[in-house]
């Protein structure tokens, strides 16, 4: 088992920071008196330690990563270089507008690019993640209906409609904003059921939250009818834009009739998703909701860029300073680099998913057998009956240098295997993956007990998942 860096240190008592600083360089009164217990290793031993850790990790540079809903695609390294330019990394967010013109210009231009891809009238870059964008967007909807013009008519608008295929963050965000969530069932085609909407729609409904394509990877064919029904009722439509890589250049939330949208920059636009790293979930709104955006929004007057706080009805600030700036730089770099090819990104993402779907259906069940967008959901029911459920298919894949797909989500598919190949994989990789999936199905048919031994080649083999979930031990305790 790998030792942690503290255990490798040759000075377990820790070092006193004041010992490391030239006498007189920092005033005595500012020096910490208590030892910091920092591990002490040579540069070489430190490098070896982190290299060993990184070798144990799985990443897109190591192999195929078809984690459905998460868009684990390859992000060009040039984005990292640009986000690490000194002018960006050494800029302090408290510097004046005058001294931050370059950064503000970048943010202003990014807002404009995002207006173009979403079709929305105004953008705020502040939210730090998709769920955070949802929260900010639902706060806007809440504040919009809290206005006197609605209250005086006796409107309460306390409810939000959410399809049963929705990402879990949707009901969570609505609830955090004080809304009651009404779940509606999908129809037999995996689409939002219009009749189910009509059955629950009344004057208390503030909004519907939808993602399109939905989490089954299917495009909601009736979206225009749905948006008409909602608007006729005085309600708003929230677009969960986490799946934006499926539609760029072909359509946008505005054309579909949505009023508020968030986008996961850390999925589609140049920053990797996952790993707990920083993200960005900018939100966009239609004109009538512009004044409610979180401040500041970046503006430009007479060629000078500035942070505009003059939004009378703003929901306030939702993040320290101006959001995760490095992620915004990567997104802008990615958009500039791709240009009109953003459309090709979506084309390839959709093509790859349909290719895999067609190759794997039959061997694995495909409950919703329709042309998909950027992802699709198989079911491992047949394999479960043969003796190895979806969980074991996922674990077996790890022995094939492949990250498992998302499993058991969305909840409406039993034994769900959710696959998103993304646009950055070539046909050879897709074919290799198909071959592996067919091999595993064959193994389960012939000798499921063997599959249940996986994973055998990973640095960590079988783990007690219940114990890990119920009693996680994540801290290093100094004895
Ligand atoms: C459809 C959908 N909505 C919302 C989110 C939440 O985004 P985040 O993880 O950045 O909070 C995700 C995450 O992948 C998603 O797939």
The 10s digit of each residue's pLDDT in 216-243 is 999 999 999 999 999 999 999 999 999 8
Q: How far apart are CA 44 and CA 184, in angstroms?
A: 57
Q: In terms of DSSP bridges, do strands 236-241 and 260-263 run parallel, antiparallel, or are they unpaired?
A: parallel
Question: How many CA atoms lie less than 13 Å away from 102 in the CB half-sphere?
Answer: 10
Residue 478 counted as domain residue: no
Domain limit, last residue, from 340, 375, 400: 340
Do 313 and 213 have their domain in common?
yes
**β pairing state of 122-124 and 304-308:** unpaired
On whether both 415 and 454 belong to a single domain, the answer is yes
The domain containing residue 203 runs over which residues? 82-340
* Domain count across the chain: 3
Q: Is residue 242 part of a domain?
A: yes
Residue 58, pLDDT > 70, answer yes
Atom of ligand 1 nearest to the CA of 132: 11
* In-domain check, residue 477: no
Q: Is residue 44 part of a domain?
A: yes
Q: What is the mean pLDDT of the chain?
A: 93
C-alpha to C-alpha distance for 250 and 217, rounded to whole angstroms: 16
Residue 66 domain flag: no
Q: For a pLDDT cut of 90, what percent of the chain falls above it? A: 85
pLDDT value for 25: 73
Structure tokens at 409: 């989500």
Asked whether 130 lines ligand 1 (CB < 6 A), one says: yes
Report yes or no on 75 lying in a domain: no
CA–CA separation, 356 and 376 (whole Å)? 9
Q: Is 69 in the pocket of ligand 1 (CB under 6 A)?
A: yes
Instruction: Looking at the structure, tell me whether residues 188 and 153 fall in a common domain.
Output: yes
Of 194 and 35, more confident: 194
Atom 12 of ligand 1, nearest CA residue: 242
Q: What CATH number is given to the structural domain containing 401?
A: 3.90.1150.10
The minimum-distance atom of ligand 1 relative to the CA of 129 is 10
Q: Indicate whether 218 belongs to any domain.
A: yes
What does the pLDDT look like over 263-303, one tens digit per residue? 999 999 999 887 667 899 999 999 999 999 999 999 999 99
Distance 239 CA to ligand 1 centre (A): 12
pLDDT at position 168 is 92
| pLDDT (mean) for 249-267 | 97
Examine the domain organization and report whether 148 and 38 are in the same domain: no
Q: Per-residue confidence at 4, pLDDT binned at 50, 70, 90?
A: confident
* Beta-bridge partner residues of 239: 210, 261
* 297 and 162, same domain (yes or no): yes
Question: Is the CB–ligand 1 distance for residue 162 below 6 Å?
Answer: no
Percent of the chain clearing pLDDT 70 (strictly above)? 96
Question: How many residues are recorded in the chain?
Answer: 479
The whole-number pLDDT of residue 124 equals 97
**Residues 252, 145 within the same domain:** yes
pLDDT value at 337 more than 70: yes
Confidence label for 11 from pLDDT (cuts 50, 70 and 90): low
Q: Which whole number is the average pLDDT over 346-357? A: 98
Residues 323 and 392 in one domain: no
**Is the pLDDT confidence value at 351 over 70?**
yes
Coil, strand or helix: which one is 209? strand
Give the model's pLDDT for residue 17.
Answer: 54
List, in sequence order, every residue forming a beta bridge with 284; answer none if it has no partner: 123, 261
Does the pLDDT value for residue 18 go beyond 60?
A: no
**What pLDDT score was predicted for residue 40?**
86
131 CB under 6 A from ligand 1?
yes
Instruction: Answer with the one of 320, 340, 360 that is the final residue of a domain.
Output: 340
**245 within ligand 1 shell (Cβ under 6 A):** no
The yes-or-no verdict on residue 211 having pLDDT over 60 is yes
């Amino acid at each position: 088992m790998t030792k942690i860096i503290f255990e490798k240190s040759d000075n377990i008592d820790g070092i006193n920071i004041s010992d490391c600083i030239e006498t007189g360089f920092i005033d005595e009164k500012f020096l910490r008196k208590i030892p910091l217990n920092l591990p002490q290793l040579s540069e070489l031993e430190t490098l070896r330690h982190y290299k060993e850790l990184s070798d144990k990790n799985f990443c897109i540079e190591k192999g195929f990563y078809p984690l459905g809903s998460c868009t684990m695609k390859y992000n060009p390294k040039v984005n990292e270089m640009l986000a690490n330019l000194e002018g960006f990394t050494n800029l302090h967010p408290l510097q004046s507008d005058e001294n931050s013109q370059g950064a503000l210009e970048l943010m202003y231009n990014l807002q404009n690019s995002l207006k173009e891809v979403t079709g929305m009238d105004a953008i705020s870059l502040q939210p730090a993640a998709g769920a955070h964008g949802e929260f900010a967007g639902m706060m806007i909807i809440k504040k919009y209906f809290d206005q006197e013009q609605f209250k005086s008519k006796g409107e309460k608008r306390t409810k939000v409609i959410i399809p049963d295929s929705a990402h879990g963050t949707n009901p969570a965000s609505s609830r955090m904003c004080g809304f009651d969530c009404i779940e509606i069932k999908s129809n037999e085609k995996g689409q939002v059921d219009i009749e189910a909407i009509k059955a629950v729609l009344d004057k208390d409904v503030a909004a519907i939250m939808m993602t399109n394509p939905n989490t089954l990877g299917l495009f909601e064919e009736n979206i225009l009818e749905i948006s008409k029904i909602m608007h006729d009722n005085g309600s708003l439509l929230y677009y969960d834009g986490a799946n934006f890589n499926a539609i760029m250049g072909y359509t946008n939330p505005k054309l579909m009739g949505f009023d508020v949208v968030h986008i996961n920059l850390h999925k589609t636009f140049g920053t990797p998703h996952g790993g707990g790293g920083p993200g960005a979930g900018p939100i966009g709104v239609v004109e009538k909701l512009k004044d409610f955006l979180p401040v500041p929004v970046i503006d430009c007057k007479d060629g000078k860029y500035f942070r505009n706080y003059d939004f009378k009805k703003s929901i306030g600030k939702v993040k320290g300073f101006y959001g995760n700036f490095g992620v915004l730089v990567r997104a802008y770099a990615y958009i500039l680099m791709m240009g009109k090819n953003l459309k090709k990104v979506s084309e390839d993402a959709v093509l790859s998913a349909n290719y895999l779907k067609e190759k794997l259906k039959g061997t694995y069940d495909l409950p919703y057998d329709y042309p998909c967008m950027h992802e699709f959901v198989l079911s491992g029911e047949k394999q479960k009956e043969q003796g190895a459920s979806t969980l074991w298919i996922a674990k077996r894949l790890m022995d094939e240098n492949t990250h498992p797909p998302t499993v058991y989500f969305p909840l409406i598919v039993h034994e769900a295997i959710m696959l998103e190949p993304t646009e950055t994989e070539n046909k050879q990789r897709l074919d290799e993956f198909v071959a592996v999936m067919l091999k595993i199905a064959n193994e389960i048919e012939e000798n499921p007990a063997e599959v249940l031994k996986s994973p055998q080649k990973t640095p960590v083999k079988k783990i007690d998942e219940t114990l890990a979930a119920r009693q996680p031990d994540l801290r290093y305790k100094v004895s």
